[in-house]
Structure formats: structure tokens, C-alpha cells
Structure 1
């Protein structure tokens, strides 16, 4: 079972990495799946993941400790809005011209509510991590 979980994790990591260059294929979902599979495969991989400097910086500090700066959040908003602007200006579908800005606005509102403490004051649901 351990080898199967590691192999499936490697496969999802490879797909997630390839997805960086393929528009429309989600990268994050495959990386989250990789994390889950590798963490479940062995305690050693789980410990390595949690001690990894990138996990510490981008997951523990940014998500669990809510220490992502306003500058960092604005950068995320600008990058995602610019990516959504490409299909917005390329399409003739009216419904998509309404959905894309609403999606971007929803992202901004939800992230700001989370970082300002309006959502999940006692940690993130379904995790064992709690605010300090």
C-alpha cells in the first residue's frame, strides 16, 4: 500500500507540474492530492513535508497562521485577475463576461474575509490546526 501511495503521489505531482503549462488544467488540485498521498504513505515523508521550507512559508505561515501580507495578497489578486482577463477579452459569450469578474471578486472577498478573521476564527475546518 505504501508503494502504491508513493507512486500515485508521484503521478499526481507529474500531472500537476505539466498542468502549469496547460491552460484550464488545475495545478493546485494535483499538488494537494500529492501532499495527501505522500503524507499518508509514510511518517518520514509526512515529516519531511511539514519541515520543508516551502511548506512552512506558503502553507503554514500563509494559510494556517494567516501571515500572508497585504502586498502578497494583492499580487495574487492581480495575477488571477489578469489570467481571467484573457478569456474575458477573447470571448463573445455574454454569460462568461459576467461570470469571470464575479469569480475574481468572490476570490478577493473570501480571501480578505479569511485573512481579516471574519471566517474560521478557530482554525480551518476539517484540520487539526488551530489559531495560536
Structure 2
């Protein structure tokens, strides 16, 4: 069971890292899942994740404050809306897909803005 937690946690970690660069793939939920799985599977990997210079703050901020830093909110929303608007206006020919993409972007925006803003 511990091995399964480590394997699934590592897959989740990969998806979380991809989420940093891909607008519709959420980073924080995958990192939180990774932390939970590593906690059960390997305390050493869990601690390494928390101590990581870039990924650790995502987990600690969410766990301790239920908040997202302002910089992370701004960057994620700008990247998401930039990508979505480019796809809607230049790549997607189907109107219903354009509407769906806009609604998804609006929903993700609402979700991100629903978290408190972490003041550093």
C-alpha cells in the first residue's frame, strides 16, 4: 500500500508541476494530493516536499492559511485568460466549444478568487 501511495503521489506531483505551466491544470490540488499520499507512503518524501523551495510554500500556505498569495493569483489568472482568449478567438472554430471554454475560465476564476489572499 505504501508503494502505491508513493507511485500515485509521484504522478500527482508531475501533474501539479505541469499545472504551473498549463492554465487549466490546477497546481495546488495536485500538490495537496501528493502531500497526503506521501504522508501515508513515505515520511521522508513528505518532508522533502514540504522543504522544497518552490513547491513547499503552495502546500504550507494552503494548509495553514487556506489562502493563495496575490502574485500566484495574478499570474494564474493572467495566464489562464490569455490562453483561453487566444484559443477562443484564433484557434477554436466551434461556437459551443468557445462558450464552454469561456464558462470554464469563469468558473476557475471564481474558484481562485474565492480563496483568501495571502499577505506576505
Query: Unpaired runs of 5+ in structure 1?
Result: 117-132
Q: Which residue is 1:87 aligned to?
A: 87
Distance apart, 1:110 and its partner CA? 2.3
Q: Which has the larger helix fraction?
A: 2
TM-score when normalising by structure 2: 0.63
Ranked by relative contact order (alpha carbons within 8 Å, sequence separation 6 or more), the top structure is 2
Quick check: 1:39–1:49 contact (8 Å CA) kept in 2? no
Q: Equivalences for 1:9-28 in 2 at 5 Å?
A: 9-10=9-10, 12=11, 16=15, 26=25, 28=27
Q: Which residue is 2:59 aligned to?
A: 59
Distance apart, 1:30 and its partner CA? 6.1
TM-score when normalising by structure 1: 0.58
Give the alignment's Cα RMSD to 1 decimal: 3.5
Q: Runs of 4+ in structure 1 displaced over 6 angstroms?
A: none
Quick check: 1:13–1:34 contact (8 Å CA) kept in 2? yes
Size of the aligned set, in residue pairs, is 111
Q: Which residue is 2:77 aligned to?
A: 77
Distance apart, 1:40 and its partner CA? 1.7
Query: Unpaired runs of 5+ in structure 2?
Result: none
The structure with the largest alpha-carbon Rg is 1
Q: Which residue is 1:96 aligned to?
A: 97
Quick check: 1:5–1:38 contact (8 Å CA) kept in 2? yes
